[in-house]
Amino acid sequence: MKNIVVLTGAGVSAESGIKTFRDDNGLWEGHDVMEVASPQGWENNQELVLDFYNKRRRQLKEVEPNLAHNALVELEEKFHVEIITQNVDDLHERAGSSNVTHLHGELFKAQSTFDPDLVMDWKDDINKGDFCEHNHQLRPHVVWFGEQVPMLEVAVELVEKADLVIIIGTSMQVYPAASLMHYAPENSPIYFIDPKPTVNSSERLEIIAKKASTGVAELVEKLLAKS
């Protein structure tokens, strides 16, 4: 076994203190999701959208990677590890993971509304009047509902080469990310780590019904001992 592919969602960062955007009532920080995470919301109220992500960006500066992020770094001692994350934080990178693919963008980057391929590092607030080199407004480098997921094909190719897949802290209910596990080779085992698993175990899929920090640490220890 050489290649491990890890799919992560909000549950891996929750223990660092990052608020999950979506409340029990489906609102994101009191907003309808389409107000702050869609092209239509952006057209309707750019200042509201910018403020929403500016708050997320400020919060990200105040948190640190947790035991789950750190444990995944240990896997690189023996395996080639590719992390595919739905999260827009940089906690995997800060923990020391070498290969991280962000499906839904990154909070610490901004992109041009004129050219979506024009992306730049951006650690502070994005304000009205912050323009790209083509004199167009900058927006968060986040994939919104209704937009294409540009890194999806890259992620599919990584999963297709996986000798083992680990899924952490994601419901696997949000598409297209939820489809990724189905690209794993038939003989590649899958581990699903989540305190409230939404999938059923099978011959190839083992459920670890624990929070990310506990479940990941246990699995990593087991894999390293086997190697």
Catalytically annotated residues: 104
- Which residue in 86, 89, 137, 135 sits closest to 109, CA to CA? 89
The answer to whether 8 touches 193, Cβ cutoff 8 Å, is no
Pairing of strands 80-85, 100-102: parallel
Q: How far apart are CA 61 and CA 68, in angstroms?
A: 18
Angle, helix 67-74 to helix 212-226, in steps of 10 degrees: 10
Q: Is the peptide bond before 140 cis (omega within 30 degrees of 0)?
A: no
Q: How far apart are CA 200 and CA 198, in angstroms?
A: 7
The answer to whether 140 touches 53, Cβ cutoff 8 Å, is yes
How is residue 66 annotated by DSSP?
A: -
Residues 6+ apart with CB under 8 A from 222: none
What are the structure tokens assigned to 17, written together?
């203190």
Q: How far apart are CA 2 and CA 186, in angstroms?
A: 16
